[in-house]
Amino acid sequence: MLCAIDLDTVMNSTSLNDFGDAIRSYTNTGDEDDRDLSRVGMSIEMFRAYTEGYLSQRAAQLTQPEIDYLAFSARYITYEQVLRFLMDYIDGDTYYKIKYPEHNLVRTHAQYKLLQSMEEQYPQMCEIVRETVAKYK
């Protein structure tokens, strides 16, 4: 069996960080540094598919507070990434490798657009988590 992993997942961390960062990465309809913001958004279909797969394997091990905040974790991690890209841009691009001078600013805008999409779809995200947990817990 093959699967994609984020190396952050091998470190000691809460399930909320892992789930939220996976949603931020896997559900984006654009690139993390997409200049065309019309392409950026969260695919609710991908959110549903990832949530189904994740909870089919993890629902029994998660605490109720973790379940309660799964959908929120995607918004939280994405907001954190907006701030990290912006701060790196302001600080002179010392943390993230950049391809051109305004790369981190472009990333900031793209991640903010993704966050807005998540916020618009948040009620659906919560409902998907509730429905999926009910199947597996």
Per residue of the chain (137 residues), give pLDDT as tens: 666 665 655 666 789 999 999 999 999 999 999 999 999 999 999 999 999 999 999 999 999 999 999 999 999 999 999 999 999 999 999 999 999 999 999 999 999 999 999 999 999 999 999 999 999 97
What does the DSSP assignment read for 59-96? GGGS-HHHHHTHHHHHHHHHHHHHHHHHHHHHTTS-SS
